[in-house]
């Protein structure tokens, strides 16, 4: 049985006051939930404050990105040791915004995933096609390449800890969610590819959907066999919406 993950990616949003009030409300409202893993991924500047406010809670902390070196002259980067020190258990890797604006490639994703496992993080590895790629019928090919190259040469013992997030770029922040049918079609395909890479382990790997998830569409998406949770952007910035999404039935 794969445990559902509901993760909020705050992206480049929030300062201390609104972050603290969000996580305080969240902590109280979800404290009895044990059958879902709840994760928040604030910007780096807020990790310390959020961690402090989440102590003794069932909510985990995640980073939005991480460099593959442990320390050194890499101005502006964040290292695995720093994320560990800040209390992160998860780290988002290869988000489409990082691929589009900051030159992330399947190769850099691969280095980061290996580093994440090396430091005992749970990596949430993002993949997904653009609208142009989907319209040209390339969605499956793009996703397969991202998986095969981004997840190359991992250690057997790490396979089942991996989390993949399918986030079609055309559905991110656009209000256009993939229909459950569209999402399940790709999620099923992703699991088949994972099976061909990690023989016998694909049933243990969680595959999250991301892209305009809201309280109104989470239940339908979660009813799909191969959707094991959500990576939520905009709707995770409001305590009310994020709590409703976490508590979907
Ligand atoms: P939205 O939920 O705002 O579409 O963002 C999805 C996403 O990119 C999460 O990582």
Rounded distance between C-alpha atoms, residue 89 and residue 26, angstroms: 18
**Who lines ligand 1 at CB under 6 A?**
9, 95, 167, 172-173, 210-213, 231-235
What residues make up the domain containing 50? 4-246
Active-site annotation holder among 104, 129, 167, 184: 167
Tell me which residue has its CA closest to atom 2 in ligand 1. Answer: 233
Count up the domains in the chain and report the number: 1
Against a cut of 0.85, is the pTM above it? Answer: yes
Q: What is the tens place of the pLDDT at every residue in 147-162?
A: 999 999 999 999 999 9
**CATH number, residue 222:** 3.20.20.70
Q: How far apart (Å, rounded) are the C-alpha atoms in residues 129 and 237?
A: 24
- Annotation says 167 is catalytic: yes
Please report the pLDDT score of residue 176 as a whole number: 86
Residue among 6, 11, 217 to mutate when testing ligand 1 (max atoms within 8 A of CB): 11
Q: What is the per-residue pLDDT across 177-224, written as a single tens digit (0 to 9) for each?
A: 889 999 999 999 999 999 999 999 999 999 999 999 999 999 999 999
Task: Let me know: does 149 contact 76? Beta carbons within 8 Å.
Answer: no
Helix/strand/coil for 71:
coil
| Distance, CA of 3 to CA of 143 (rounded, Å) | 23
- Binned at pLDDT 50, 70 and 90, residue 1 comes out as confident
Given ligand 1 and candidates 130, 183, 210, which is best to mutate, with the most ligand atoms within 8 Å of its CB? 210
Taking 90 as the threshold, does the pLDDT of residue 175 lie above it? no
Cβ-in-10-Å burial (0-12, 13-18, 19+) of 6 comes to buried
């Amino acid at each position: 049985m794969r445990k559902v993950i509901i993760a909020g990616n705050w992206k480049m949003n929030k300062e201390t006051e609104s972050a603290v009030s969000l996580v305080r409300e969240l902590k109280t409202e979800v404290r009895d939930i044990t059958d879902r893993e709840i994760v928040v991924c604030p910007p780096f500047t807020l990790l310390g404050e959020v961690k402090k406010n989440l102590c003794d809670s069932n909510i985990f902390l995640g980073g939005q990105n991480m460099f593959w070196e442990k320390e050194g002259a890499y101005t502006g980067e964040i290292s695995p040791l720093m994320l560990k020190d800040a209390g992160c258990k998860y780290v988002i890797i290869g988000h489409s915004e990082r691929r589009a604006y900051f030159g992330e490639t399947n190769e850099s994703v691969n280095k980061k995933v290996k580093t994440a496992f090396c430091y005992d993080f749970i990596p949430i590895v993002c993949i997904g096609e653009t609208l142009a790629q989907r319209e040209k019928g390339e969605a499956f090919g793009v996703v397969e390449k991202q998986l095969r190259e981004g997840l190359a040469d991992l250690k057997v013992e790490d396979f089942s800890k991996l989390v993949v997030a399918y986030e079609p770029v055309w559905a991110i922040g656009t209000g256009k969610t993939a229909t459950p049918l569209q999402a399940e079609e790709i999620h099923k395909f992703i699991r088949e590819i994972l099976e061909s890479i990690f023989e016998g382990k694909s049933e243990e790997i969680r595959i999250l959907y991301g892209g305009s998830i809201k309280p109104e569409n989470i239940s339908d998406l979660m009813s799909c066999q191969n959707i094991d949770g959500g990576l939520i952007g905009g709707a995770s910035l409001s305590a009310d919406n994020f709590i409703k999404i976490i508590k979907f039935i």
